[in-house]
Amino acid sequence: MIRIEGLNKSFGKLHVLKNINLEIEKGKITAIIGPNGSGKTTLIKIILGLMKPDSGKIFVDNKDISKEVEYKNHIGSMPQIARFPENLRVVELINMLNDLRAGKNGVDKELFDSYNLNNELNKMMRTLSGGTRQRVNAALAFMFQPDILILDEPTAGLDPISSSKLKDKILKEQKKEKTVIITSHIMSDIEELAENLIFILEGKIIYNGTVKGLIEDKGKINLERTIASLMESNGK
């Protein structure tokens, strides 16, 4: 479980996160969404330890992440844009990460196999197409069987077959009681995958509950129209 208490972050005069308090349930898929500039990316970076808050605390399994870094070994992250060392071969990248994280929970190569990435192992990262880089990005997120998965726009840049395989993998991991956080602008993906939803607008949590509950409350036919209605009601 991830617990966030009184989180604030500013960049100069811009107050990006405003007293964020929430709990992200273990064994559930939680979507964090909001328009560009809402603060969701900053929140994700703070959870990952890539950025420090101005105030507030984050606890992972009741441990304050500001006082330890070991929790990062239990996280698999899939950034929206895959930035890997261009001069490495795919196999060299895998070996490097394996050296850093070996001995944790073993290796999960399911996505490598289903994406046929074994055929790409000896290719330089700089030579890979955008779609192949994104498939490598996805496979690496799951590779070390993390307890927490943080997936930023996971299906962006993937063809329908690759996207479907990734979504199947996400749902499979959730059934293993993994904690999954996803961000996406594709509301149909959120509706298909997530049970819980956190909607952030201008650094504040506007909604924190179930996807189904929000759609029913707003009386709309799907999540896309529900979020549009929520933004309109908040002056966006």
DSSP state letters, 42-76 = HHHHHHTTSS--SEEEEEETTEEGGG-SGGGGGEE
Task: Provide the 3-class DSSP secondary structure of residue 1.
Answer: coil
Per the listing, tokens 């996160």 go with 17
236 has pLDDT over 70: no
**Across-strand partners of 64?**
59
Mean predicted lDDT score pLDDT of the chain? 92
Quote the pTM value: 0.92
95 has pLDDT over 90: no
Where in the chain are the domains?
2-233
**Nearest CA to 28 among 162, 138, 234, 176?**
176
Give the pLDDT score at 225: 94
112 has pLDDT over 60: yes
Please enumerate in sequence order all residues whose Cβ is within 8 A of that of 137, keeping only pairs 6 or more positions apart, or say none: 78, 79, 82
pLDDT in tens, 118-157: 999 999 999 999 999 999 999 999 999 999 999 999 999 8
The H or E element spanning position 99 is helix 90-101
Length of the chain measured in residues:
236
**Nearest CA to 82 among 5, 141, 30?**
141
Cα separation, 87 vs 101, whole angstroms? 21
204 has pLDDT over 90: yes
For residue 67 the two structure tokens come to 């006082």
Strand ordering across the sheet containing 148-152: 75-78, 148-152, 179-183, 29-33, 196-201, 204-210
**pLDDT level of residue 103 (50, 70, 90 thresholds):** low
pLDDT in tens, 57-77: 999 999 999 888 888 888 999
How do 2-11 and 55-60 pair as beta strands? antiparallel
Give the pLDDT score at 104: 59
**pLDDT level of residue 191 (50, 70, 90 thresholds):** very high
Give the pLDDT score at 232: 86
106 has pLDDT over 60: yes
Average pLDDT over residues 170-199: 96
- The CATH code that applies to domain 2-233 is 3.40.50.300
CA distances (Å), origin 25, targets 3, 16, 74, 96:
9, 24, 15, 32
